[in-house]
Structure formats: structure tokens, C-alpha cells
């Protein structure tokens, strides 16, 4: 039981917001592709595959991140009790977990077409280089946006077997969404991160944090509105899109960089944001 608890803490399986934020973009790509291919069985089957793929890859990514950051995590109040930082597990065993998780994820990946497999393998470069970004740039949140939303393109390709400019437009909107919510998340650790020399958009824009997040979310919404408006069959997509918009601005309203607990509360609202945008794409596809 002790080893299981350590594994759960190491992979953050007890914190589903992480793998849900990886899964929701996949669901958007699938729902958009469903507008062209009305095969409900394939859609539902792929939803399940992408969900478990998101859980596995996010779990593996957390371990990689903790291996790279284990010395830094010891110096941050919020992360000092993570298994690797607290020396509850060896790096060697953590690597074994990564291999197993990635192996299971690969078994899921090969269920798709060749284009999706190639896109999935290409994403590994993004996924495993992300932990190093906070050491070299103030924009690790942007890099996370590139990484976490790659599933939009993969999900679309898994059904259509081709790529379009439109799906990259959705990808761009999602990047700005992630740039906003991860800046809120990073605001929890501004004081500790400045002491240890870690970089982030939370630190870069700390004097105008809400304005920066507002700008990111507004750009994301504008891109999405242009996308839906230019491709729409009806205006019903506006209703769930309004729900998505409301969750974003609610986050800006409630978070306060001086109160870390409010940053986490606002960050978790993004699960609803992802769900509402999924409903938007489903409505658009009907």
C-alpha cells in the first residue's frame, strides 16, 4: 500500500485536473472531426482511447518533471513533499515507471492511423523537454501550451487522416488558453521561484498578472469565435461558448497572486472550461 501511495503521488493520479487538461483538447479535436465523419462508434471509442492516453502520458510527464526538478522541489513549500524530492523513491525506480507508462501509451497510440502515430511520436520531444524550459526562458507556460494541446491535432488526424489550417487555428487558441491558466497556476510559487531562480510568465508579468491573463484568454476567445463563425452551420454553438467564456473571466475575478489558494481554485475551474468548449464543438458538429 505504501508503494501504491507513492506511485499515486508521483503520477498525480490523485489530482485529476492535470490529465483532464490534457484530455479536453483531444476531445475538441475529436468532436470537430465528428462534424465530417458522423461515425458515432469510432468517435466514442477514440474518446476512451484518448482519455486513457492522456492519463498515461500525463503520469509519465509528471515523473519526468519530478526527476528533473527534484533538487528544486526541495526548496519550494508546495512541492517539497513530492516523492522524489522527499527521497521516498529512487530515480531508478521512477525511470522504470516512465518506461512502463510510455509502453502502455504506445499500445494505445498504435491503434490509430500512421499519421496520428507519427504525430504522437513527434510530441515526445515536446513532452520530455518541457521540464527544462523554466531554467532557460520566462515562457515555459507557452511551451506547455504547445505540448498540452498537441492532442487536438492528433485527435483530428485520427479520424480524418489529414491536416488542415483550421485545426491549427484551434490549436493556437488552445495555446493561449494554456498560457493563461498556467500563469495563474505559477502565481502560487512566485516567491519561492524568484528565490531559487526559476523563470515563468507569472514572474515576468507579476506587476500586471491579471491583465496578462485577461489578454491571453481574450485572444483565445477571439480566435475561437472567428473559427466557429466562419465555419458555422447555426448559431447554437454560441450558448456553450458563452459558458466557456464565463469560466475564463470568473478565474480572473477570483484569483489573487497574494493568496495562493485562490490561484489553485481559479486553475481548477479550467476543467469546466474544457468541458464547455467540448460541448461547443459537439454543438457545432450536429
* Predicted pLDDT of residue 64: 94
* Predicted pLDDT of residue 7: 93
Query: Which residue reads 490534457 in cell numbers?
Result: 22
CA-closest candidate to residue 283, choices 220, 232, 248: 232
* Predicted pLDDT of residue 42: 95
- Residue 57 CA to residue 118 CA, distance in Å, equals 16
State pLDDT tens for residues 87-101: 999 999 999 999 999
- Provide the b/e sequence for 28-66 (b: ≥16 CB within 10 Å): bbbbbbbeeeeeeeebeebbebbbebbbbbbbbbbbbbb
DSSP state of 86: T
Confidence check: pLDDT of 36 > 90: no
C-beta separation of 195 from 249 below 8 A: no
C-beta separation of 273 from 248 below 8 A: yes
Phi and psi (nearest 5°) for 107?
-60, -35
CB under 8 Å to 62, separation ≥6 — which residues? 10, 11, 12, 18
- Residue 145 CA to residue 180 CA, distance in Å, equals 9
Q: Which three cell numbers stand for residue 22?
A: 490534457
Longest dimension (CA), the chain: 56
CA-closest candidate to residue 49, choices 119, 130, 128, 105: 105
On average, the pLDDT of the chain sits at 94
- Residue 135 CA to residue 199 CA, distance in Å, equals 6
* Predicted pLDDT of residue 15: 93
Confidence check: pLDDT of 233 > 80: no
What size, in residues, is the chain?
286
DSSP 96-107: HHHHHHHHHHHH
Q: 2-285 belongs to which homologous superfamily?
A: UbiA prenyltransferase (1.10.357.140)
For CA atoms 47, 128, 192, 176, the dihedral sign is: negative
Report domain extents, the chain: 2-285
> What does pTM read for this prediction?
0.95
Mean pLDDT of 24-39: 93
Q: For the chain, what percent of residues have pLDDT higher than 90?
A: 80
Confidence check: pLDDT of 237 > 90: no
Q: Which three cell numbers stand for residue 158?
A: 485520427
C-beta separation of 188 from 209 below 8 A: no
Looking at per-residue pLDDT, the higher value among 23 and 232 belongs to 23
C-beta separation of 9 from 260 below 8 A: no
Query: Which residue reads 499515486 in cell numbers?
Result: 8
- Residue 246 CA to residue 177 CA, distance in Å, equals 13
CA-closest candidate to residue 178, choices 222, 135, 141: 141
Amino acid at each position: 500500500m505504501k508503494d501504491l501511495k507513492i506511485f499515486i503521488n508521483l503520477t498525480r493520479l490523485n489530482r485529476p485536473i492535470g490529465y483532464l487538461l490534457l484530455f479536453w483538447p483531444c476531445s475538441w479535436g475529436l468532436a470537430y472531426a465528428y462534424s465530417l465523419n458522423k461515425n458515432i462508434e469510432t468517435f466514442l471509442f477514440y474518446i476512451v482511447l484518448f482519455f486513457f492516453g492522456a492519463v498515461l502520458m500525463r503520469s509519465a510527464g509528471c515523473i519526468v518533471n519530478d526527476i528533473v526538478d527534484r533538487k528544486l522541489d526541495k526548496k519550494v513549500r508546495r512541492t517539497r513533499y513530492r516523492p522524489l524530492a522527499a527521497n521516498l523513491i529512487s530515480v531508478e525506480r521512477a525511470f522504470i515507471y516512465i518506461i512502463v507508462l510510455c509502453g502502455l501509451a504506445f499500445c494505445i497510440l498504435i491503434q490509430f492511423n500512421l499519421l496520428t502515430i507519427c504525430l504522437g511520436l513527434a510530441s515526445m520531444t515536446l513532452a520530455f523537454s518541457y521540464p527544462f524550459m523554466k531554467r532557460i526562458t520566462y515562457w515555459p507556460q507557452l511551451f506547455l501550451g504547445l505540448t498540452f494541446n498537441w492532442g487536438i491535432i492528433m485527435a483530428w488526424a485520427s479520424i480524418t487522416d489529414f491536416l488542415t489550417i483550421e485545426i491549427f487555428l484551434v490549436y493556437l487558441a488552445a495555446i493561449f488558453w494554456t498560457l493563461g491558466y498556467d500563469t495563474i497556476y505559477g502565481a502560487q510559487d512566485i516567491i519561492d521561484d524568484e528565490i531559487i531562480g526559476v523563470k515563468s510568465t507569472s514572474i515576468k508579468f507579476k506587476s500586471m498578472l491579471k491583465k496578462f491573463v485577461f489578454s491571453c484568454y481574450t485572444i483565445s476567445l477571439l480566435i475561437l469565435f472567428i473559427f466557429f463563425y466562419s465555419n458555422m452551420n447555426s448559431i447554437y454553438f454560441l450558448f456553450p461558448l458563452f459558458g466557456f467564456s464565463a469560466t475564463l473571466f470568473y478565474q480572473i475575478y477570483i484569483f489573487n497572486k497574494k493568496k495562493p489558494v485562490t490561484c489553485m481554485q481559479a486553475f481548477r475551474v479550467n476543467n469546466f472550461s474544457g468541458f464547455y468548449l467540448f460541448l461547443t464543438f459537439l454543438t457545432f458538429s450536429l
